[in-house]
Homo-oligomer: A and B are copies of this chain.
Amino acid sequence: MAESPRPTVTMPDRDPGEPIHQWVFRALRRAIMTGHFPPGQAVTIRGLAESMNVSAMPVRDALRRLVAERALELLDNRRVRVPSMTTERFDELLTARITLETEAATRALPLIDDTRLRELHAIDDRINRADAAGAPDTVVEQNFLFHLTLYTARPGSIFVPLIESVWLQTGPFMRVALEETPSKDPIDRHIEALAAIADRDPAALRRAIEADIRDGIGHLGNTGLLVRKQRPPGRLLSPGRSPRRAAKIASETTRNAREAGLT
């Protein structure tokens, strides 16, 4: 590993009039969600700026946004990296997805019209075709789109951004998962979800969504892919004399409280 393992980021088309920092953000978000950044990967402002042929400023903005959405992790030395995955973290993410998405689906259900239902069917078809064609990236993408299309039936939902944050956090794990797990071709939970929508059956929809999430990533929890505890190389508290960050060590509760401004 002598070479700098800089992962190339494929840039999407830039919308006319779109700010560069949002363009960069979209590129990084896609790269992270599809797992093109391996867990633990360090990312630097200047490095990304050079590889994307933009100045440092938009990259800085995009990184800050990604850190705020928990897609990236800010170490105490002010450096940014892709979070690594532990069994505990994986379990939390799975639970969070189920908790949020079953509720979002239930609340969206009464607002799904025929047009949207047809669109959902179309996406599911695309998933099946991509799966048959052996295009796992497309499968993952269209699967996210299926869920997103379902939840956004309720406009302005608070849940969607929260769900997307969780998706981003599971992203770095996706590629490893796609490469290592046999395509087990499970029962199509989307069919069950679509049937529940047609029946206007909230309980059945909840069951289908939860099963879909568990089928998708749940079985990965027991593979050997997860690290146990992972004290990161860039440690969470630096050792020597360091006038820059003289703040005392604080418990997570205290730290959160302070950041929240709770005296």
Contacts and interface: CB of A to CB of B under 8 A. Distances in A.
B99 A158 contact: no
B162 A158 contact: no
Contact of A252 (B152, B167, B247): B152
A165 B162 contact: yes
Interface in A233-263: 242-247, 252-253, 256-263
Nearest to A159: B96
Interface string A137-172: 000011011001100100111111110111101000
Contacts of A165: 161-162, 165
A256 B26 contact: no
A261 B70 contact: no
A67 B145 CA distance: 23
A145 B263 CA distance: 9
Chain copies in complex: 2
Contacts of A29: 259-261
A243 B30 CA distance: 26
Nearest to A146: B262
Given A103-B99, A157-B92, A162-B96, A262 B148 contact: yes
Contact of A70 (B70, B161, B243, B259): B161
Interface of A: 12, 15-19, 26-27, 29-30, 33-34, 61, 64-65, 67-70, 78, 88-89, 92-93, 95-96, 99-100, 103, 107, 141-142, 144-145, 148-149, 152, 155-162, 164-167, 169, 242-247, 252-253, 256-263
